[in-house]
Amino acid sequence: MKNKSVIEEAEDIRLAVEMVSLGARMQMLEAETQLSRERLLKIYKEVRGMSPPKGMLPFSTDWFMAWQPNVHSSLFMAYFSYFKSRATLGNLDSILKAYNLYLDHIETEKMEPVLSITRAWTLVRFFDADLLHMAACTSCGGKYVAHAYDPTHEYVCGLCNMPSRAGKGKKKRPVARTTRKMVTA
């Protein structure tokens, strides 16, 4: 971190704060900023109020192939591709903007996000390493995340060929409503 300008350090701190507020793991922070681990730990604790989770990041492309993660990952990659191709943004800024847009879309649809910022970052890295690519669905024409070397000439997405157990997972518990008595004076 020696010979680093104050402006560059401030930009790294801003990026670290934004990534931590979105739930990024330490590995992502270390890879995307030039800040020391000790500095990143301080930022993490200040923003989240607790120590970062420990452990390795998942390293498997298979998680992105299950039907629900695939739909969410494909939505994120559509946003990411848009920002990457049409805006003059770097990789990290494109990831952050695409992830924020993904969260806005999920919130608008009143859904729970499936994709975390760290998984989104990992997804982009899998694309950069040519482990994953986008494949067009032969039924609806949409583009979805697929393994890079799988044949995709007859690819059908998880929305057109939904698994029989789709949507039958955990049911939301009804929210307990409290009633307040009106006090008249």
Overall average pLDDT of the 32-38 stretch: 94
Answer yes or no: is pLDDT of 183 > 50: no
β-sheet bridge partners, residue 75: none
* Share above pLDDT 90 across residues of the chain, in percent, rounded to a whole number: 63
Report the pLDDT value the prediction gives residue 4, as an integer from 0 to 100.
73
Overall average pLDDT of the 39-68 stretch: 90
Helix/strand number for the chain, H first, E second: 6, 2
Helices 6-21 + 37-48 axis angle, to 10: 50
Which single residue is written with the structure tokens 């999920």? Answer: 106
Report the pLDDT value the prediction gives residue 184, as an integer from 0 to 100.
35
Q: Which two tokens stand for residue 107?
A: 């919130």
Answer yes or no: is pLDDT of 34 > 50: yes
CATH fold group of domain 61-147: Arc Repressor Mutant, subunit A (1.10.10)
**Ramachandran angles phi, psi of 146, nearest 5°:** -145, 160
pTM for this structure?
A: 0.83
Domain boundaries, the chain: 6-48, 61-147
Q: Which two tokens stand for residue 22?
A: 């979105």
Per the model's pLDDT, the better-predicted residue between 177 and 30 turns out to be 30
